[in-house]
Structure 1
Amino acid sequence: MTLSSIAMDGNATPSVHEAARTSRIGLDWSRAVQFLMDEQQLFRARNPLSEQMATRARGHLLFGVPLHWMNDWGTPFALHVAKAKGAVVTDVDGHELIDFCLGDTGAMFGHCPEPVARALASQGAKGLTTMLATEDAGVVGELLAERFGLPFWQFAMSATDANRYLLRWVRAATGRKKLLVFNGCYHGTIEDVFVDLIDGRPHQRDSLLGQVHDLLEHTVVVEFNDLAGLERALQGGDVACVLAEPVMTNIGMVLPAEGFWDAAQEVIRRHGTLLILDETHTISTGPGGYGREHGIRADAVVMGKPLGGGVPCAAYGMTAELAQRAASAKQKAPPGHSGIGTTLTGNMLALAAMRATLSEVMTPKAYEGMNQQSCRLADGLRQLIAKRRLPWCVTQVGARVEFQFCESPPMSGAEAGEVLDGTLEHIIHLGLLNRGVMITPFHNMLLVCPQTTEAHVNRLLDALDDVVSHLLPESLIAEGS
Structure 2
Amino acid sequence: MKNSPVSHPSRTGIDWPRAQAFLARERASYVARNPQSAELAAQAQQHLLFGVPLHWMSDWGTPFALHVAHASGALVTDVDGHTLVDFCLGDTGAMFGHAPAPVAQALVNQATRGYTTMLATADAAAVGQSLSERFGLPYWQFAMSATDANRYIVRWIRAATGRKKLLVFNGCYHGTIEDVFVDLVNGQPVQRSSLMGQVHDLTKHTVVVEFNDLPALEAALQQGDVACVLAEPVMTNIGMVLPEPGFWSAAQALIRQHGALLVMDETHTISTGPSGYARAHGIQADALVLGKPVGGGVPCAVYGMSASLAARAMRAKQEAPPGHSGIGTTLTGNMLAMAAMRAALTEVMTTSAYAHMLTQAQALASGLHSILQKHRLPWCVTQVGARTEFQFCATPPRNGSEADRVLDGELEHLIHLSLLNRDILITPFHNMMLVCPQTTPAHVAQLLDALDAVLSEITALSLSA
Q: CA deviation at 1:108?
A: 0.1
Instruction: State TM-score, norm by structure 1.
Output: 0.95
Structure 2: runs of 5+ lacking an equivalent: none
Distance (whole Å) between structure 1 residues aligned to residue 464 and residue 389 of structure 2 = 26
**Counterpart for residue 134 of structure 1:** 121
Q: CA deviation at 1:17?
A: 8.4
**Counterpart for residue 310 of structure 2:** 323
Map 1:357-372; keep pairs closer than 5 Å.
Answer: 357-372=344-359
**Counterpart for residue 141 of structure 2:** 154
**Counterpart for residue 101 of structure 2:** 114
Distance (whole Å) between structure 1 residues aligned to residue 365 and residue 5 of structure 2 = 29
Which residue of the other structure, out of 188, 206, 211, is the alignment partner of 1:219?
Answer: 206
**Counterpart for residue 209 of structure 1:** 196
* 1:173-211 superposed Cα distances (whole Å, 9 cap, x missing partner): 000000000000000000000000111111100000000
**Counterpart for residue 3 of structure 1:** none
Map 1:78-477; keep pairs closer than 5 Å.
Answer: 78-473=65-460, 476-477=462-463
Aligned partner letter, 1:433: L
Distance (whole Å) between structure 2 residues aligned to residue 409 and residue 310 of structure 1 = 30
Distance (whole Å) between structure 2 residues aligned to residue 180 and residue 295 of structure 1 = 21
Q: Secondary structure at the match of 2:88?
A: coil
Q: Secondary structure at the match of 1:470?
A: helix
* 1:209-229 superposed Cα distances (whole Å, 9 cap, x missing partner): 000000000000000000000
**Counterpart for residue 7 of structure 1:** none
**Residues 4 and 15 of structure 2 are in contact (CA less than 8 Å); yes or no, is this contact kept in structure 1?**
no
Distance (whole Å) between structure 2 residues aligned to residue 326 and residue 279 of structure 1 = 21
In the alignment of these two chains, the number of paired residues is 463
Q: CA deviation at 1:478?
A: 5.9
**Counterpart for residue 12 of structure 1:** none
Distance (whole Å) between structure 1 residues aligned to residue 25 and residue 257 of structure 2 = 58
Q: Secondary structure at the match of 2:270?
A: helix
**Counterpart for residue 32 of structure 1:** 19
Q: CA deviation at 1:472?
A: 1.2
* 1:385-432 superposed Cα distances (whole Å, 9 cap, x missing partner): 001000100000000000000000000000000000000000000000
Distance (whole Å) between structure 1 residues aligned to residue 274 and residue 283 of structure 2 = 15
Q: Secondary structure at the match of 2:160?
A: helix
Aligned partner letter, 1:124: A
Q: CA deviation at 1:118?
A: 0.3
**Counterpart for residue 11 of structure 1:** none
Structure 1: runs of 5+ lacking an equivalent: 1-15
Q: CA deviation at 1:470?
A: 1.1
Distance (whole Å) between structure 2 residues aligned to residue 74 and residue 438 of structure 1 = 13
Q: Secondary structure at the match of 2:112?
A: helix
Distance (whole Å) between structure 1 residues aligned to residue 84 and residue 191 of structure 2 = 38
* 1:130-181 superposed Cα distances (whole Å, 9 cap, x missing partner): 0000000000000000000000000000000000000000000000000000
**Counterpart for residue 39 of structure 2:** 52
* 1:76-134 superposed Cα distances (whole Å, 9 cap, x missing partner): 00000000000000000000000000000000000000000000000011110000000
* 1:275-332 superposed Cα distances (whole Å, 9 cap, x missing partner): 0000000000000100010010000000000000010000000000000000000000
Relative distance call for 1:431 and 1:18 in structure 2 (3 A) is farther
Instruction: State TM-score, norm by structure 2.
Output: 0.99
Distance (whole Å) between structure 1 residues aligned to residue 429 and residue 7 of structure 2 = 22
Distance (whole Å) between structure 1 residues aligned to residue 140 and residue 431 of structure 2 = 33
**Superposition misfits of 4+ residues, deviation over 6 angstroms:** none
Distance (whole Å) between structure 2 residues aligned to residue 59 and residue 197 of structure 1 = 39
Q: CA deviation at 1:476?
A: 3.2
Distance (whole Å) between structure 2 residues aligned to residue 163 and residue 442 of structure 1 = 22
Distance (whole Å) between structure 2 residues aligned to residue 416 and residue 17 of structure 1 = 25
